[in-house]
Chains A and B, each alone.
Chain A
């Protein structure tokens, strides 16, 4: 059990640590320890040392992971809702409407979307709310395609035809019969969307366009570490390693779920 789900286990441990550590550590993520600027690892109460202005690395890692995952889950949910609504509508109605709706998705796929998101961030200030709405609005495309395919396939199944013949309204069929049947696949793609979003959020934060100080995220920590890497490689290695680990683990679990449901 532990061995086959090592990836999931690692993510859960990370999440648990990110949630619990702030209550256990003597330092908060934005607190400066003037007596221990650039402290090396394992010095006093700083397990991983402190950064270039004396903030505890471990506390910042926990805070950054929390924000990154929070943004990722929120944005993935936005993409889930938009994707299901769009894909299910297109798949259910079919015909012309489906064609137009899917053409729009195809067209949006071809856009330099990251650049539009960057513009959004620049234009509307860099609020954390906007970060995940912006990312969520970018990442719904795959979900819409997958859901549409599922709905199209389900529509031909006898139990749906029977429900239609019995005069059940479309909206009830959708909610009672279609949605429960696509939940598994949607969950798998939701799981695969989360690492995508983590990547985008960190990318934006790295460029200074995402989450803003004093809040922190893994992207910001990587940026800070990269700026200071000639002094302390630890500053880059810790958030970078953690970020890669989270991405790898979520991808592995997401792909496993996807393969099971498709």
Chain B
């Protein structure tokens, strides 16, 4: 277990480095700069700003400086949100994005595993087919369609939920989380159903039946755990999907999360902000994949050394 974590962290560092450098040079290839406002600045001011932020130095030196500061936890200043450092913006946005993503994955697991279980118990019957059909539809629901549709229905027409911003209480979370969770829950339901179907044919289930255990107990205790293995391996890609989905959801519902900063930053050429967010996203995804691997090993001990 410790070995796995160590090996993963060792590959994570070069991966992160590659991502940071790739994004760094990509950003710099882009035409335009962070100081091209609506009014062109006079050349002297432009040069002074470039110098103040170190943008006049050779690219490699800038990249080196960026990384050496990053190691010390300094993401640098934001070039567009002038009075903020990138760390401050991230500190504002990250909790919102993490809350959205975390709640969405919990909700998706809850809906998906329950639906998958029901479908597997009623395998081949109408319930099974209906649930699987719904799951297919759910996986095909893009957040940028469900988000506005939910906002229109529950926000504008029924007036039940806030359409934009983070108001008092947790009501503002409901629609964004549901929009994010739906496609993931569909995928989880399918995986659970398929996992259970193959597990239930195995010998240990048959012997559990022969011992006269109740069907519920067999399902929950013997079937579900093994059936969760494919679900666990899906959690990594799911996390990446949720982070991208969060970009849309934050835009649709006007939430000041990381995704909004990313899109705004990319459009405004706010180099440090974009780099900071990409780095953080990459780190989060790598971390989540590791976490998924650990769950994987716990569910299926044969996988522990692999």
Known: A115-B281, A236-B148. A120 touches B26 (CB 8 A): yes
Chain A residues with Cβ below 8 Å from B27 are: 119, 123
**Residue B191 lies at the interface, judged by CB distance under 8 Å to chain A:** no
Give the residue of A112, A114, A119, A222 whose beta carbon is less than 8 angstroms from that of B148: A222
Please determine whether A110 and B141 come into contact, CB atoms closer than 8 angstroms. Answer: no
9-residue interface stretch from A28-36, A163-171, A247-255 = A247-255
Distance in angstroms from B158 CB to nearest chain A CB is 13
Q: Return the contact of B152 from the options A120, A124, A233, A252 (Cβ within 8 A).
A: A233
> Is the C-beta of A50 less than 8 angstroms from some C-beta in chain B?
no
A225 proximal to B (CB < 8 A): yes
* A244 in contact with B137 given A122-B30, A230-B156 (CB within 8 Å): yes
Which of A8-16, A78-86, A151-159, A198-206 contacts the other chain? Answer: A198-206
Query: Which residues of the partner chain B approach A244 to less than 8 Å between Cβ atoms?
Result: 137, 140-142, 145
> Number of A residues whose C-beta is below 8 Å from B?
40
Within the complex, the shortest CB–CB distance from B278 to chain A, in Å, comes to 5
Interface contact tally, CB-CB below 8 A = 115
Pick from A110, A118, A123, A206: contact of B29, CB under 8 Å: A123
Contact assessment for A222 and B263 in the assembled complex, using a CB-CB cutoff below 8 Å: no
Q: Which of A230-262 contact B (CB under 8 A)?
A: 230, 233, 236-237, 240, 243-244, 247-248, 251-252, 255
Q: With A115-B281, A120-B26 in contact, do A225 and B148 touch (Cβ < 8 Å)?
A: yes
Complex Cα distance A203/B145, Å? 10
Inter-chain contact B244/A114, CB cutoff 8 Å: yes
Say yes or no for B228: interface residue by CB 8 A criterion: no
From A109, A124, A251, give the contact of B139 (CB < 8 A): A251
Do A251 and B140 touch across chains, with their CB atoms under 8 A apart? yes
Query: Closest Cβ of chain A: how far from B294's Cβ, in Å?
Result: 15
Q: Please tell me if the beta carbons of A110 and B289 are within 8 angstroms of each other in the complex.
A: yes
Min CB distance, A174 to chain B, in Å? 30
Contact B26 A119 (CB under 8 A): yes
Q: Is A107's CB under 8 angstroms from B136's CB?
A: no
Residue of B nearest to A226 (CB): B148
Cross-interface CB contact of A202 among B142, B152, B244, B251, cutoff 8 Å: B142
